[in-house]
Amino acid sequence: MKRIYLDHIAGTPLHPRAGAVMSSYLESGAANPQSLHADGQRARQIVDDARVKLAQLIHSRPEEIIFTSSGSEANNLALKGLALARHNGGDHIILSSIEHLSLIQAARSLEKTGFEATRVAVDSQGVVDPDDIERALTPRTSVVSVMLANSIVGTVEPIREIARICRSRGIRFHTDAVAAVGNIPVDVGALGVDSLSLAADQFYGPQGSAALFLRKGVKLVPLLDGGVQESGRRAGTENVPGIAGLGEAASVAMEDMEERGKRMRALRNRLIQELPQRLEHVVLTGHPESRLPHHASFCIRFVEGEGMLLHLDMQGIAVASGSACASKSLQASHVLLEMGIDHALAQGSLVFSMVDDITSGDIDYLLDVFPPIVEKLRKMSPLYFEYLENSR
């Protein structure tokens, strides 16, 4: 049985070019980039080259790139590091209510140390209103964080407008762009952000390799002490093979993003249009147009996401239900709940996110096998029987 991978948000397959540069480094002998001998300097050059490639992808300076182990680490470094630096002496931070848990929980940690955190609501499509951000600002606000794109519902946020508001008030602005970088064009200068998080495994790079863009001149307090790596901003021996893979994945993204986006958008639109025609009681989640090109997300009434996910897996199709970070729990995604979707409907969340090798034939297969799965599960659903009784 052919496996059809529709779980891009949990991670993408490693691109052969990224794998090749990683293997080449490992096979030639690993070395510490901080070492002064020839082997160390070869490793240093690999790190420096990857930094340049990644900077080109997001239109930053190479020295503005800080390599980390994950998008979650980059988010923590940004929010905590910027807040603790107290750029304008403030102790108030703002974030949207649908941020990744790494930011929500980082904000909670800051609250325990005396900071105040405000969570700004979103609308029914997961969109943050810049005016709501502006209304939440106070003279004590030092940092605002709003994601560029949401991995659960695919919505792309009005980051330029929010960044402009923050800049006019002298407030640091961070965006979690993990779901966006490598999938849509990202220009940190045009966006006007002070910091931006990204992760390699969202654009065909290796797991365990990520980065934080920090605009030149912006100060932050490091979270890890004990080393001079990353210009003293992130201690620890560099993950050279992971960084090399990240750099190569960035190069691939620059070459392939436009064509890949067109192809993924066509498949996404087909799924968004045809699934509700094949299946009753389907609710599209997220913005219908301003969304990631490879992303289609739905709530299916009267069934739970876990059941659909497991049955699709048995048919050779890998999808996500809600958040990859919460996939082992039965709790509904906080993103969907914050959008005003009731808990019962949110339990029936599925996310279809496409990778490079997905074809129109794969979408045909999904559309053929999915409706019978849902009908089977609905026959076991008390909620469905209650609905049928009430509709008579």
Catalytic residues: 325
Distance CA 223, CA 210 (A): 16
Helices (H), 90-157: 101-112, 130-136
Instruction: Name the 3-class secondary structure at 150.
Output: coil
The CB density around residue 37, as the number of other CB atoms within 10 Å, is 9
Tokens for 150?
A: 């949401």
Q: Return the sign of the alpha-carbon dihedral for residues 242, 243, 245, 249.
A: positive
Q: Can you count the helices (H) and strands (E) in the chain?
A: 13, 12
In order, the DSSP letters of 343-362 are HHHHTTEEEEE--TT--HHH
Residue 280: partners with Cβ closer than 8 Å, 6 or more residues away = none
Closest CA to 11 of 195, 207, 160, 156: 207
12 token code pair: 């993408």
Closest by CA to 258, choosing from 188, 185, 191, is 185
Give Cα 108 to chain centroid, integer Å: 20
- Going by the DSSP 8-state scheme, the letter that residue 10 receives in this structure is G
Instruction: Kindly list the distances between the CA atom of residue 316 and the CA atoms of 1, 3, 390, in Å, as whole numbers in the listed order.
Output: 7, 5, 36
Q: CA-to-CA distance for 293 and 324, rounded, in angstroms?
A: 19
C-alpha–C-alpha distance, residues 153 and 164, integer Å = 25
CB atoms within 10 A of CB 209: 26
Place of tokens 């779901």: 179
Six-digit token string for 201: 């495994």
Contact between 346 and 286 (Cβ < 8 Å):
no
